Amino acid sequence: MGSFGFSSPALSLSLLNSPLSRIRIRIRTPNSRMATTLTETTVAHRSETPPGLDGDGDDDDLLCCDGQKRQRQENEPDSTLTPSFCSESPSRTLSLAAAESRVERAWAHWTRLGRPKLIVAPMVDNSELPFRMLCRRYGAEAAYTPMLHSRIFTETEKYRNQEFTTCKEDRPLFVQFCANNPDILLEAARRVEPYCDYVDINLGCPQRIARRGNYGAFLMDNLPLVKSLVQKLAHNLEVPVSCKIRLFPNLQDTINYARMLEDAGCSLLAVHGRTRDEKDGKKIRANWSSIKAVKDSVRIPVLANGNIRHMDDVHSCLAETGVEGVLSAESLLENPALFAGFRTAEWVVGSEDSSKDAKLDQADLLVEYLKLCEQYPVPWRMIRAHVHKMLGEWFRIQPQVRDDLNAQSKLTFEFLYGLVDRLRELGVRIPLYQKDGHVAEVLADSLAASNS
Sheet containing 431-434, strands listed edge to edge, beginning at the edge strand earlier in sequence = 342-343, 431-434, 356-361
What phi, psi does 144 have (nearest 5°)? -100, 145
* CB contact burial 67-80 (16+ within 10 A = b; e otherwise): eeeeeeeebeeeee
The span from the CA of 11 to the CA of 258, in Å, is 34
If phi > 0 it is left, if psi is from -120 to 50 it is alpha, else beta; for residue 350 that is left
Considering only the C-alpha atoms of the chain, give the largest distance between any 2 of them, rounded to a whole number of Å.
Answer: 72
Which residues 6+ apart lie within 8 Å of 374 measured at CB? 64, 65, 413
The span from the CA of 140 to the CA of 133, in Å, is 9
The span from the CA of 373 to the CA of 321, in Å, is 36
The span from the CA of 272 to the CA of 303, in Å, is 9
**Which one of the listed residues 205, 266, 317, 373 is annotated catalytic?**
205
Catalytic, 205? Answer yes
The span from the CA of 255 to the CA of 247, in Å, is 9
Do the Cβ atoms of 426 and 408 come closer than 8 Å?
no
Q: Coil, strand, or helix at residue 359?
A: strand
- What are the catalytic residues? 205
